[in-house]
């Protein structure tokens, strides 16, 4: 099946895909040219969910628990708690991808009650994502320290722009806000594709030397179906030193969707997926660590697979958060989530879409399961259900806020909930 026919089929009959078996759907997706770090073609088709709903399916209730953070389409959520904005500290901000006709927009939502309810307070309208050019994989970040002329507390929003253009040259574009997300200005471009390959899923961190680091998935290198790359900037404007962080020696491997968090001891933890042509470990979640947030060691080292004591593991679209541990463990606690939960034999686990994994040893050893605040029990390979769900622990690590997406009829919506973590 060609990529064009695959996308057309999905747009015409989403419910057929959602009813397909996981193995069959993965095989169909992998027959198309690669375009996504998770499931090929996912980003490119995202605008389809903004189209008018099928009247026959508008009464289909979502399976996700939680409270919708907004009406209408809300894809690829991100969430932060302000900590460097004076009187605004403690507010929770969430971003989502939405569409107005052919224009891709970054919607900024604010909560002043810890995530129980959200109000839309801002919009990022990038002209490079207007008119059907395509918008995907946005991120939201609060600078924890000054970078160049950007004060601590400046908000950054970045995206993969231009993925739907016929002869695309995608860009990773950064916008900045100095008024807690109300208004936004274009700041810089991290990278521009040298060919029609994709640049996906930008995420930010601050390295030990104070550099602003952008992590992303890159499919423009002919030697790799996809790889992970990092670039750095000391002012948020000029980006350089682009380098591979995870690049398999086997060309079909597709490391993607990196998310990085700094741990309490100053080291850094990167979660990502590795997709490849089928098999039990298709798009399985891996992690790597770095002492300084810039040097990740040999890019050919593909990292480690987090598992529970009974062998359960995560598939696709992971995110990670770190917080102090409620029991005082000096390592604090890492919390991760993936789109799906699989058993040791690769079958879908009964806990699929219902758990997060927690570790207090910096990632080493077995991970324990904890209830997911937002349950998406029908999660499967698709760009909406439980796709890249952000996590935000409370300051003391006893509670966890999660935002996850799920279908409501033909609309992908975002749902938020908070649950116990300790």
What does the pLDDT read at residue 347? 97
Tokens representing 324?
């102090």
Helix/strand/coil percentages in the chain, nearest 5: 10, 40, 50
Q: Which residues of the chain have pLDDT under 50?
A: 1-58
pLDDT, tens only, 103-155:
999 999 999 999 999 999 999 999 999 999 999 999 999 999 999 999 999 99
Q: Which of 103, 145, 108, 109 is nearest to 125 (CA)?
A: 103
- For the chain, the maximum distance between any two Cα atoms, rounded to a whole number of angstroms, is 56
**Which domains are assigned to the chain?**
64-192 (2.120.10.10)
Distance CA 312, CA 345 (A): 9
What does the pLDDT read at residue 59? 52
What does the pLDDT read at residue 55? 33
Residue with tokens 């409501």: 408
Instruction: Classify 243 as helix, strand or coil.
Output: strand
What does the pLDDT read at residue 61? 65
Q: Where are the alpha helices (DSSP H) in 155-223?
A: none
């Amino acid at each position: 099946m060609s990529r064009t026919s695959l996308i057309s089929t999905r747009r015409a009959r989403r419910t057929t895909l959602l009813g397909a078996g996981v193995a069959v759907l993965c095989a169909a997706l992998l027959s198309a040219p690669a375009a996504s770090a998770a499931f090929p073609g996912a980003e490119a088709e995202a605008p389809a969910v903004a189209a008018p709903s099928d009247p026959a399916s508008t009464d289909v209730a979502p399976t996700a628990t939680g409270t919708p953070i907004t009406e209408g389409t809300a894809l690829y959520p991100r969430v932060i708690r302000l900590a460097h904005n004076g009187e605004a500290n403690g507010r929770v901000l969430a971003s989502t991808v939405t569409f107005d006709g052919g224009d891709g927009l970054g919607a900024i939502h604010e909560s002043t009650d810890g995530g129980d309810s959200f109000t839309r307070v801002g919009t990022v309208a990038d002209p490079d994502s207007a008119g059907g050019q395509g918008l995907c994989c946005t991120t939201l970040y609060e600078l924890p320290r000054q970078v160049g002329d950007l004060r601590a507390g400046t908000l950054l929003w970045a995206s993969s722009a231009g993925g739907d253009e016929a002869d695309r040259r995608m860009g990773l574009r950064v916008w900045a806000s100095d008024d807690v997300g109300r208004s936004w200005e274009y700041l810089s471009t991290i990278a521009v594709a040298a060919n029609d390959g994709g640049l996906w899923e930008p995420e930010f961190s601050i390295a030990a030397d104070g550099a602003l680091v952008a992590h992303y998935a890159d499919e423009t290198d002919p030697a790799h179906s996809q790889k992970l790359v990092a670039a750095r900037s000391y002012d948020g404007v000029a980006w350089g030193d682009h380098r591979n962080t995870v690049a398999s020696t086997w060309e079909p491997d597709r490391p993607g969707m990196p998310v990085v968090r700094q741990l309490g001891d100053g080291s850094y933890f990167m979660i990502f997926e590795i997709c490849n042509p089928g098999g039990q470990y298709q798009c399985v979640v891996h992690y790597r660590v770095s002492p300084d947030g810039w040097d990740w060691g040999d890019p050919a080292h593909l990292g480690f697979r987090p598992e529970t004591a009974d062998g359960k593991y995560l598939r696709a679209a992971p995110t990670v958060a770190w917080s102090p541990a409620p029991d005082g463990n000096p390592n604090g606690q890492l919390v991760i989530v993936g789109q799906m939960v699989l058993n040791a034999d690769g079958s879908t686990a009964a806990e699929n879409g219902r758990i997060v994994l927690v570790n207090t040893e910096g990632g080493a050893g077995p991970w324990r399961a904890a209830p997911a605040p937002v349950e998406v029990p029908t999660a499967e390979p698709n760009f909406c259900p439980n796709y890249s769900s952000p996590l935000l622990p409370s300051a003391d690590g006893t509670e966890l806020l999660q935002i996850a997406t799920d279908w409501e009829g033909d609309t992908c919506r975002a749902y938020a909930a908070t649950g116990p973590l300790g």
